[in-house]
Chain A
């Protein structure tokens, strides 16, 4: 289930990059051939950046793709290394859960106050923040899942299993 949602989110992220690409291209073409670009192109690009960048965080976490430094850790005995994996996931939650909380507050503020971007179309500010909340929710869920799996492995003294069964 979580994997399928993550696959969907990666697809949305990719489509957002495609949309960025097309939007910027249309803006250039408009400027060169018609003397006017796409209205609020900059605002739209910035909003699209949120899913493009943050949606893949959950699956990156499942794939354990967050860069860590191995220099010292390669000398750890296996048992210690397993507990360190638990610690890593917990410290991740120390930043990810407050970020989710902060995003939720900003979303409700922007939604409640009806804040708009300064620009041609007066686009609302809440959608980008809503996308931020979605990205962080999935990121937090996946990180808790990883923490639980690593904790179980550490308690049983077994190797830490993969968390991205379909390798996406």
Chain B
């Protein structure tokens, strides 16, 4: 028996780490203990920036790749970050899962990168968390000092935000000192990192959550596995989504509850429909830029995005008609 090396850039904490451990436990159980992974947490082998080359070159047999850093090399994964209007992690993950599992051009691209796809994750819905100042209308963004966060940086920059580049670990202190007024965040993440202590208000933003974090296996290693073992791993792709989404939505709801029922509650502001539209409008250049990256990698970007949107609609409809799997009787 060969123990497989699985690399995670982040620490062994939180809902996503728990889902990874569940997935690895299930893989072992369903293969009668033959698919045995050793997890290397906290970037001990390589950091998030190097995950793509490291897994495709076999430094680890499998591991997490963060697409947010890889717009030009991995546009098919980065697509999960695009600021679209659907804002449900479960729907987004299932749509991305279908793209990464079966869209033909994506299959070819993954093979070129020597990768086999194993599972996708997402953040909970995007919030702008603020201290002192609050984001009540889009006009408030003008001149607001905000942390530059991933794909949302250019969106809020376009709306007039004064973007501050800083390490995510300095967000807490940046808010404490007033270096930034606001930061893109997620309810669950804010509580898990104690950032909630700093927050006076939260403004939900109706953009899709980031869903470009996925587990991949080195393709040579995947092809060396027996057909049964490959089937076990492929079968887990959709299941880990349901497992994770249930816990994520619960953690997010608990976090919102904690923040809104504490002694000095966090105020939640809802933006108007016009403001939602302005934000979507400001996000267009991000999508245009993504299309250029995807085209440069040989994709028919329009067709790929259209398929992704079709799948988002499909899974939103499943949710609306049948409910979430964990809520079905």
Contacts and interface: CB of A to CB of B under 8 A. Distances in A.
Interface stretch (A36-44, A83-91, A144-152): A36-44
Contact of A116 (B53, B71, B154, B164): B71
Given A115-B72, A115-B73, A116-B72, A122 B165 contact: no
Interface in A80-111: 106, 109
Given A37-B163, A118-B72, A122-B72, 12 more contacts: A31-B164, A36-B157, A37-B165, A41-B165, A42-B165, A106-B53, A113-B73, A115-B73, A116-B72, A118-B70, A122-B289, A125-B72
Nearest to A125: B72
Interface in A110-162: 113-118, 120, 122, 125
A35 interface: yes
A35 B162 contact: yes
B68 to A, nearest CB: 7
Contacts of B53: 106, 109
B206 to A, nearest CB: 23
Contacts of A109: 53
B317 to A, nearest CB: 32
Contacts of A116: 71-72, 293
8 contacts: A27-B165, A35-B160, A35-B162, A37-B163, A37-B165, A41-B165, A114-B296, A118-B78
Contacts of B71: 116, 118
Interface residues of B, number: 20
B299 interface: no
B59 to A, nearest CB: 11
Contacts of A115: 72-73
Contacts of A114: 72, 296
Leading 4 A-B pairs by shortest Cβ distance: A116-B72, A118-B71, A35-B162, A42-B165
Contacts of A113: 72-73
Nearest to B73: A115
Nearest to A110: B73
Interface in B61-117: 68-73, 78
Interface in B164-180: 164-165
A108 to B, nearest CB: 13
B69 A118 contact: yes
Contacts of A41: 165
